[in-house]
Amino acid sequence: MATREALKQLLNEKGSIADSLALATERGWDHDKLVGVIKSLEADLQVTTKTSKREGWKLTAEGAQYLEKGSPEAQVFKLLQTSGPLDNADISKALGDDTAKTGVGTAMKNKWISVDKATKKVSTACDKIDDAVVADLANLDSLDDKKRTDLKKRKMIGPSNATVYSMEKTSNFTMEEVRKAAEITADMIRDGSWKNCEFKPFNFGNVSGEVCMSGSLHLLNKVKSEIRQNLLLMGFEEMRTNRWVESSFWNFDSLFQPQQHPARDAHDTFFMSEPAAAQDIPRDYLEAVKEMHEKGGQGSIGWRYKWSEEEARKNLLRTHTTAVSARTLHEMAQDYKRTGIFKPKKCFSIDRVFRNETLDMTHLAEFHQVEGLVADRNIGLGHLIGVLREFFRRLGITDLKFKPAYNPYTEPSMEIFGYHPLLKRQVEVGNSGVFRPEMLLPMGLPPDVTVVAWGIGVERTVAQMYGIRSIKSLFSYDQEIGKSKTYPVCYLKAADHA
């Protein structure tokens, strides 16, 4: 056993020790306990030490057992050699299920044993075997890579990483053991013994305190902040998003989405029971939306159904941030009516939306959505594609592809796909389109104004950027917030493109 006295005796004789691990192996000492003794001498300033890392291999619990009793295949062979032919149940009973299962298979492969097809009993097929596994376990340091790999696959050995110490005596080294006091006690002060007492040294200058964990942004907030910064640098202004509870009118009807649309069903939307109905919808705009739904106008035939004001006033948890875009565009239209001057705008929003979804790897009932829009004259699909390419380039997503899609309030509409270097395929990253005139004209915007818009789900984007398999795990207890400071190499930081 490694003791202070034994180690000091060696140091007194040799003056230094080059390798603590070699010393522990030579003397049969436990290396961890030897390290404790070394640190106690270092704390007393009797030795100085240097450390180095040494990687190697060590026996697992199974490996140590097999080194003592023989490999599983050798144990099976010896059992059969002693007791004669046995069936698998008897072998398992004698050696245990794991050893029997592994041993029989390997011994059969080595042609040490054979099975009688008639009796189903196992017996030895040779007189003598060479248990090379035990020899390998006893000489780990001299094995080649192939043998180590084979033993590792069989869970007999595992990698080890040891801290090795070298040490030298200092001028304070002494064979005499003097117990030093760690602190001044009340008794020492009363009887004056502190004057003749030797105290352990205190290091006030070179020892740092324990590093405190500082606050870290959640991955979701990191990406939200980066997206916000990107859009601000692109000249967009942020819309007000402080309405989680919205009316069906702003969430659906103002977007020219018919009241029979499946998305308005309770299976897809969370409706409010209190307050159940909205009261603050502008009457003139409500009538204009009703007219467009029922009869159309300016070239459109509308949806041709009986529009219900009661249905439009139902309150719900907003299902998309397009409701925010609708309110912003309505405000722009009111400003145009007051001044007679249309002011082009580029706007975006980032906030929560809610869907009555079944939770799975790619769906949540509550998630964040980014929405952007550009309202101006003489713009179209080409301008939208240009904005999208720049926006996603700043997120490190390139090689965009666009696929025609259908949305009730955009025409034409496009799904956006980007190349995912980890998955090595195109994946959907968002939806986009040009807002229909049936949505814009009832607001009072000039007929020659076009609005292009797009939206993405933040959680899905974060999962792709950080290689997270299921978006549910973004909010789980095992998400290591502080360590996720950089994106995988397949994505670029916005700062590189700003």
**pLDDT tens across 343-393, in order?**
999 999 999 888 887 776 667 778 888 999 999 998 999 999 999 999 988
**Interatomic CA distance for residues 449 and 342, integer angstroms:** 9
Architecture of the domain spanning 220-496:
2-Layer Sandwich (3.30)
Domain boundaries, the chain: 1-71+131-212, 220-496
Task: Write a three-state SS string for 353-408.
Answer: EECCCCCECCECCEEEEEEEEEEEECCCHHHHHHHHHHHHHHCCCCCCEEEEEEEC
Model pLDDT, residue 207: 66
Report pLDDT for 325: 93
Token couple for 156: 């007999």
Q: What is the 3-state secondary structure (H, E, C) of 24-67?
A: HHHHCCCHHHHHHHHHHHHHCCCEEEEEEEEEEEEECHHHHHHH
pLDDT of 452 > 90? The answer is yes
Same fold, 1-71+131-212 and 220-496: no
CATH number for region 1-71+131-212: 3.30.1370.240
**Residue 90 Cα distances to 83, 165, 227, 326, 482, angstroms:** 11, 50, 66, 77, 54
On whether the CB atoms of residues 303 and 226 are closer than 8 A, the answer is no
d(C-alpha 19, C-alpha 12), whole Å: 16
**What pLDDT does residue 497 have?**
31
Decide: pTM greater than 0.85.
no
Tell whether the model's pLDDT for residue 335 goes beyond 80.
Answer: yes
pLDDT value for 145: 85
Please calculate the CA angle 186-190-192 and round it to the nearest 5 degrees: 110
CA distance 171 to 220: 57
Lowest mean pLDDT among 95-104, 135-144, 264-273: 264-273
